[in-house]
């Protein structure tokens, strides 16, 4: 008899679409043992997240799931929704990839952790709140008692991700499914979260199914690796063997695509330009101040930055350092408390151009936001969000439409698009990028 905590056998997931059935997962087998960290890797669209969602029975009604999924010998697929609700959070928890869509924007984060605890524990609300603050401290949130009273939009992207991890850990489940749990975290916090996962696995026997594309995380923490490609399981083995001596051609191709820092000796320095072109974007002593409970909080303190045409500037720093705040201020989504912003040689905002001229300048700037799930309109088809990304044919004879122009896709009749298969998360990221590139802008802002 297998000693596996989670056992998946011949799992198949098929989605019904207007164009017919799409088989996303094609009969895979998977086992996760107590205290083990199993990394599920593969390119976007390979079926990793669909597999994770199938285990928790969180797929939409258009999905048909067959096979066997058992937790500690208990079959999960036949369970009713009420029975699965008792399993989710208490026995299996999920760390979702996009914290902004996983968290309730109208609830304080402490209340959200407390709610998860009260759903599965017979304790008082005061005790649950105390536990929530402890969990925030455990995942590295500074000043956890104060942050527990904050709303999701008041935290940085990395801090929101830590809150999602705290919710998953709150009831000490036997298995945690983590879908890219460290994507939004800086390297120092990522190391802390990975240490926490290792400690939980070693001390409490918590098992982890880690869905990731980060081979550095895999090498650092995983006991075994399972490689997926187009819905099939191509290779499973211990981490050292798979990473150093892969058997399958696809695994070798996947590993060869892992980026690495270049040798400093091979880096070619640019020749200094004789004429420095005018900056596309320039911030001069820009500051942004928030008010929390009547008290000022300085999020951006006198930052100066200039970006030339054709230049790529990497803005790095730990979670909460002000990177996204700077980007939002540059986009005009946050007001400056002091300083100035210049776009394409013209000052915008306070003391600069305004009205139609300012809108025209800002319309030349595209933005790729950190959470594609919250930046894309779920009511719109992919084709409507970005005509260039629609997979349907283009009818050039069709008359122009406002904001679209001639040659809009034939699938727009006017609201439907045949591409209805739920996209992978990274496909959503590409669609968000395509939407930013579709406008005639000359400047792009892209948080990681």
Q: Is the dihedral of CA 434, 439, 440, 445 positive or negative?
A: negative
- In 239-377, DSSP assigns E strands to 281-292, 295-307, 338-343, 346-348, 365-367
Q: Cα(340)–Cα(358) distance, rounded to whole angstroms?
A: 14
> Which pLDDT tens digits describe the chain residue by residue (448 residues)?
468 899 999 999 999 988 889 999 999 999 999 989 999 998 888 899 899 999 999 999 999 999 999 998 899 999 999 999 989 988 999 988 778 788 999 999 999 999 999 999 889 999 999 999 999 988 888 899 999 999 998 887 778 888 988 898 888 889 999 888 876 667 777 777 788 778 777 877 889 999 988 888 888 889 999 999 999 999 999 999 999 999 999 898 888 887 776 666 665 566 666 666 788 899 999 999 988 767 888 888 999 999 988 888 888 887 778 888 888 888 888 889 899 999 998 898 888 888 888 888 888 888 887 666 667 777 777 766 554 444 444 445 555 544 444 444 444 433 344 443 444 555 555 555 555 555 555 555 555 5
139, 197 in Cβ contact below 8 A? no
Class in CATH terms, 277-362? alpha beta
Q: Cα(102)–Cα(118) distance, rounded to whole angstroms?
A: 18
CATH match for 6-256 among 3.40.50.300, 2.60.40.10, 3.20.20.140, 3.40.30.10: 3.40.50.300
Residues with Cβ < 8 Å from 175, sequence gap 6 or more?
5, 6, 32, 71, 91, 92, 93, 206, 207, 208, 209
Question: Do 6-256 and 277-362 share a fold?
Answer: yes
Q: Cα(198)–Cα(5) distance, rounded to whole angstroms?
A: 17
Q: How many CB atoms lie within 10 A of CB 424?
A: 18
Residues with Cβ < 8 Å from 342, sequence gap 6 or more?
279, 281, 282, 283, 284, 348, 352
Q: Match 């996947």 to its residue by tokens.
A: 254
Query: Taking Cα atoms as reference points, which of 144, 145, 151 lies closest to residue 104?
Result: 151
Domain ranges, ordered by start, for the chain: 6-256, 277-362, 365-448
Q: Cα(89)–Cα(170) distance, rounded to whole angstroms?
A: 8
């Amino acid at each position: 008899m297998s000693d596996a905590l989670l056992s998946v056998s011949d799992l198949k997931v098929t989605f019904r679409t207007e164009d017919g059935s799409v088989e996303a997962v094609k009969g895979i087998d998977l086992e996760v043992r107590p205290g083990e960290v199993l990394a599920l890797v593969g390119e976007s669209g390979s079926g990793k997240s669909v597999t994770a969602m199938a285990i928790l029975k969180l797929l939409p009604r258009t999905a048909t799931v067959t096979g066997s999924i058992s937790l500690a010998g208990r079959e999960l697929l036949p369970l009713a929704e009420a029975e699965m609700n008792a399993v989710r959070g208490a026995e299996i928890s999920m760390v979702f990839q996009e914290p902004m869509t996983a968290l309730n924007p109208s609830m304080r984060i402490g209340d959200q952790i407390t709610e998860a605890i009260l759903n599965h524990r017979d304790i008082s609300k005061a005790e649950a709140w105390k536990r929530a603050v402890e969990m925030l401290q455990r995942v590295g949130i500074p000043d956890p008692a104060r942050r527990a009273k904050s709303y999701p939009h008041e935290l940085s992207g990395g801090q929101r991700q830590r809150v999602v991890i705290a919710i998953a850990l709150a009831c000490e489940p036997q298995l945690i499914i983590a879908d890219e749990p460290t994507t939004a975290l800086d390297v120092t916090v990522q190391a802390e979260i990975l240490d926490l996962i290792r400690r939980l696995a070693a001390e409490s026997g918590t098992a982890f199914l880690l869905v990731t594309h980060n081979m550095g995380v895999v090498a650092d923490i995983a006991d075994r690796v399972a490689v997926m490609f187009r819905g099939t399981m191509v290779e499973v083995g211990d981490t050292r063997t798979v990473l150093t001596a892969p058997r399958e051609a696809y695994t070798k191709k996947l590993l060869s695509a892992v980026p690495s820092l270049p040798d400093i000796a091979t880096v070619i320095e640019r020749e200094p330009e004789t004429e420095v072109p005018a900056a596309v974007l320039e911030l001069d002593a820009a500051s942004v101040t928030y008010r929390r409970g009547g008290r000022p909080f300085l999020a951006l303190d006198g930052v100066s930055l200039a970006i030339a045409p054709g230049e790529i500037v990497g803005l790095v720093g730990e979670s909460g350092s002000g990177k996204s705040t700077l980007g939002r201020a540059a986009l005009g989504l946050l007001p400056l408390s002091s300083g100035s912003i210049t776009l394409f040689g013209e000052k915008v905002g306070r003391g600069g151009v305004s009205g139609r001229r300012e809108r025209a300048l800002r319309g030349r700037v595209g933005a790729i936001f950190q959470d594609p799930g919250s930046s894309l309109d779920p009511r719109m088809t992919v084709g409507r969000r970005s005509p260039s990304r629609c997979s349907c044919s283009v009818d050039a004879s069709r008359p122009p439409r406002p904001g679209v122009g001639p040659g809009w896709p034939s699938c727009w009749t006017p609201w439907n698009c045949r591409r209805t298969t739920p996209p992978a998360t990274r496909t959503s990221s590409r669609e968000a990028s395509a939407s930013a590139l579709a406008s005639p802008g000359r400047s792009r802002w892209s948080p990681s």
